A and B are shown apart, each in its own frame.
Chain A
Amino acid sequence: MVRCFLIHTVCPVNALGAGESRVLYCRVFGPDESLFTDQEREFSPEERRVLQREQTAVVARQVHSAASLSRGAAGRLLMEALPGEEALALQEADSGVLRLRAGDPFPEEMSALWLGVQSLGFTLVCEPHENLLLAEGTLRTLTRHCLEHLHLLGPGSEVLLRSDRIDALLSRLLPHGQLLFLNHRFAHSLEKEVAAYMTK
């Protein structure tokens, strides 16, 4: 199961400190895990939300660091793709997978798969025994759709104001965090529904 999907910055942001990442979209799936860990006291909903936010901030930061190091090591120049060149941007994207140890920040060990497209990172946090080949494919598909439908290669801020589009996309391709084995016909059917939603 996928625990969460994030879109965040992997470039320096002026308003934040070095290494900090701005989380632009965050969707956590399933019931809150703090309900099930043995704790001395129960968290209130406010506390749970703060905890969740901080966990995703930690993930974003770690991915930002991993992406920067990976890009530095590869030594490639970051090319700016223009709107319309989504496929190219995806091809040029850096990718990797990070091990998140138990407790840092989730109670159990997790794997964070990430794709870095220019200044944005797209991250899927999954349980480690999950089929990572499938997760990788799903992440690429999600990223491609986000780039296209939110016009992320342009200068707009649609990722902030049109996050319902990402929700609709996730409800089809990653319902409640479930990775799906979709061949091209099933995928085509779902993508038609997604496209219909986006044109509204």
Chain B
Amino acid sequence: MYSHGSESLIKQAREIQDSELQKFYSRLVKLLQGKELGYEMVDSLQRLHLILSANKYIRTLPPELQKRLQSLLSSPAEQFQVLSSAVLRETLPPAAHSGNYSQENIVQLNGHAAALLLSQAGSRADVSSLCTQLLRGLESRQSEGPTNSLTHTLPILNTILTHNPECLTEDHVTLLSKKLVDWLRYASILQGGGASSGGFFTGPRSRQPVPIAELDGTVSGDFFTVLCVGQSFTEDQWMNVFSFSALRHWLLTYHSVSNGNGTADTAHRLQLSLSLSHSHSFSNDDRSEVDGSVVSMVSATSSSSRLLPPKERLREKSFQYCQRLIEQSDRKAHKKSDADLQKACLVEAVCILDCVCEEDASLVFRAFPCIKALFGRLSSDLSFARVLLPIAQFYLNHGEMAAVDCGSVWALVFGRFPSELFNDPFLAHELLRFLRLNLESLQLRVPQYTHSFPNLLKFLAWDSPAVVDDFVDLLPSLVTAGTAVELLHTLLDLPCLSATLVLQVRSTCLPISEQSGRGLLSLDAFRSPSFRGLFLFLLRGEAGSGDTIDRLSTLHELLVETADWPRVVQCAQIVPVLLHIFFNTVITVADEKLLAHLILVMLERSSLLLNIPKYNKEIHRVFSSHLLRLCKLHPSLVMDQSHELLEFSGATANVYSKEEIYTHVVWVLGEYLSVSCDSRCSVTLITSCFEALEAVLFEITSSVPPPGADCPAPRVVTTLMSALAKLASRSHDLIPRVSLFLSKLRTVTRGGSVAWCSDEEDLVAIVTRGEELWSLLKAPGVAQSVLTPPAHVTTPQWHRDTNVALPLRLRTLTNLTHSH
């Protein structure tokens, strides 16, 4: 597919010498002068395009060549239009830039030349003038002007409006609204002419007009829409397609024009509704006069809309069009591509109905029965899931107003969709986008939202790289005090969920009788009834049935072979990020009791994680940093969890298996286990903590590390020493014990290398720290103020302290110097 040949072509195009290029230019000019538009010309233009586009820096063509290419834009042969447009797009616009715009009228240009003009627009003013020209071109009757320019008008307008809706005036809005109404509602319902392709025997019968048909073959009984078919199409039928394609965007955009005129519209409408007896039409070129004879199911039920102002009329006609589309989508299309189009039309129709109901709340009561029926029709069919999302948006926006029960909608969105369609990337993207955009409403109106995280996280567990970005935005809203602990457990076990989902998918693909002989023990376990409960817990849809399971270690063992599966590895990589977000959010909603519980969870889970390479280390790192942060914010947490923290720090094995966390636990104990942090702290507690740490320090500095473990990092040893010193400074009886240990340490290390420290520099650093602490502890009072500083030292507030505030000092100095 992508070959070495392509690569070398690009290289040649980039590295072409200037002299060769100039020769090529002059050859091309000669060809263009010759007016022989043949194969050599096409080939040369294609090569020129490659040369120009191969570089990201723009080239300037010689003026003669540029001029000739400009004239080629209006060539009758389309290939030259396309080629010249493509080439000129890659070059600088001509110097007489503004001249280009005043001369050309975009309406007269073909589609390719128009695209060039648009891409070369140099300023907002240019774009606005293009917009005005296009709209002026629309005003003239359809019979004038080239036919293809009309079909391109709407797309170009649409793209200009995306960026620059301010270039529309009120008149423009009126004009375009009227045109859209005509095209949408009053397009011809007969098949396009030209069916009689010549022939001598074209009698009157062959010229009989054939009506358009529906997608299932039946004859159409109502106005033309995008879901109607015929052998060939008339121009206004094409405009019907283009109009509907641009409709939603138009309805969303013209708001920015009509801001000032809102009240004028309602007043007008009121006046008109009072004068219903008058039957004057609103404008001369309004085709609704000829409407009468058409059998129309949808329009028969609508109110007399001829009297509405243009924008309201467009809204009404859009409403009818969408209702018709919804009806038409129920028909069984013969071709698959049409069935897909029906789905896309349903999405668009519901979105447009949502849009018009936003603008005119009275339409909600007319729209809801239709939407509700549609929901009823589609809710049990998961292949229509992507259509049900816009319906959910409609319910969210207007459900309250119509006092409709939305429970079944949310059961789908938060229940069935995540649990059964987690592997559909497009549904995942759209559902998560729906959540992101409506977060505030959902939190208000959907009470089960915050309990639905086990289901929602399935999207993340299945395809982490694609949706992690959405979860970075969504996760904070899922952190509540009531579910925080369960959420933490779920996040830590996300790789397990990932593995389980893979197993679930595989299980449905492989027949049950087949022996998963290739060592897929996990698949056997997934299918075995004795372990079913474990997996079912992971696959649960709602929070609230328990924080986690007892047999978590069993689960991890069963899944040990999944640790190198790509989805599991990808998932493990994003868990630390989510944990950071979780902790950053939870401190804003949790009370101290909950935070203490979370510390407990951190300590427990630090040894209870699925064994994926680097996963444990990363999680420990996250835990450590947040443990530190939590304790700094609420130092009394250390007191609350002193028992567990002591137990953790007293187990020597933790030094080797969980070094990072161990170091931080010891540090927080040393720092915050004091009376100044929490008045409940007693001398007994300090002593028991001291003894626990002392024992560990003795052990690790007197023996070889256990087989398979590395020597403890110097940081662990120095942290232990510092913690002991800090505790001793608070209970002076302990000072002699520390001093004894530190002097012993100095003696032992003077003898040379030791079994527990491999690096000489590290050993020197440890010993130096030991000496510093030893000398500090010789003066207990000093030691206390250095190692357990009072609060005002650690959190200076110089600017608030009246004794040292700068302004005060300055004032004093000024007064002193200006004492005369």
Which A residues contact B (CB, under 8 angstroms)? 1, 9, 11, 13-15, 22, 24, 26, 28-33, 35-36, 42, 45-46, 49-50, 53-54, 65-66, 69-70, 72-73, 75, 95-99, 101, 111, 117-120, 127-129, 131-134, 136-137, 152-153, 155-157, 159-164, 167-168, 171, 175-187, 189, 197, 200
A168 near B463 with CB under 8 A, answer no
Q: Which of A95, A96, A111, A156 has the most CB of B within 10 A?
A: A96
Q: Nearest chain-A residue to B118 (Cβ)? A: A31
Give every chain B residue within 8 A of A26 (Cβ-Cβ): 53
A184 near B338 with CB under 8 A, answer yes
Q: Which of A96, A152, A167 has the most CB of B within 10 A?
A: A167
B118 near A134 with CB under 8 A, answer no
A–B Cβ pairs within 8 angstroms, 6 of them? A14-B7, A49-B56, A163-B53, A177-B155, A181-B244, A185-B230
Interface residues of B in 562-583 (CB under 8 A from A): 566-567, 570
Give every chain B residue within 8 A of A49 (Cβ-Cβ): 56-58
Which of the candidate stretches B82-90, B171-179, B410-418 sits at the interface with the other chain? Answer: B82-90
Give every chain A residue within 8 A of B341 (Cβ-Cβ): 137, 181-183
- Range class of the B interface residue count: 35 or more
A175 near B82 with CB under 8 A, answer no
A97 near B78 with CB under 8 A, answer no
B159 CB–A CB distance under 8 Å: yes
A63 CB, nearest partner CB in chain B, Å: 11
Give every chain A residue within 8 A of B112 (Cβ-Cβ): 167, 171
Give every chain A residue within 8 A of B345 (Cβ-Cβ): 181
**A interface majority secondary structure:** mixed
In the assembled complex, the Cα of A153 lies from the Cα of B2 at a distance in Å of: 9
Question: How many inter-chain residue pairs (CB < 8 Å) link A and B?
Answer: 236
In the assembled complex, the Cα of A131 lies from the Cα of B5 at a distance in Å of: 38
Interface residues of B in 76-99 (CB under 8 A from A): 78-79, 82-83, 85-86, 92-93
B156 near A183 with CB under 8 A, answer no
B241 near A161 with CB under 8 A, answer no
B229 near A184 with CB under 8 A, answer yes
A38 CB, nearest partner CB in chain B, Å: 11
In the assembled complex, the Cα of A31 lies from the Cα of B663 at a distance in Å of: 58
In the assembled complex, the Cα of A97 lies from the Cα of B430 at a distance in Å of: 10
Give every chain A residue within 8 A of B163 (Cβ-Cβ): 30-31, 33, 35-36
A120 CB, nearest partner CB in chain B, Å: 5
- Please name 8 further chain A to chain B contacts, defined as beta carbons within 8 Å, in addition to the given A26-B53, A99-B433, A163-B86, sorted by A numbering: A30-B163, A137-B341, A137-B344, A161-B50, A163-B53, A164-B79, A183-B341, A186-B226
Known: A15-B7, A45-B93. A118 touches B465 (CB 8 A): no
In the assembled complex, the Cα of A96 lies from the Cα of B462 at a distance in Å of: 13
In the assembled complex, the Cα of A101 lies from the Cα of B123 at a distance in Å of: 26
B767 CB–A CB distance under 8 Å: no
Interface residues of B in 426-462 (CB under 8 A from A): 426, 429-430, 433
A155 near B469 with CB under 8 A, answer no
In the assembled complex, the Cα of A167 lies from the Cα of B84 at a distance in Å of: 11
B1 near A197 with CB under 8 A, answer no
A132 near B124 with CB under 8 A, answer no
The 6 closest A-B pairs by CB, nearest first: A178-B155, A30-B159, A53-B56, A176-B155, A134-B344, A181-B226
In the assembled complex, the Cα of A23 lies from the Cα of B429 at a distance in Å of: 25
Known: A50-B57, A70-B466, A189-B233. A175 touches B151 (CB 8 A): yes
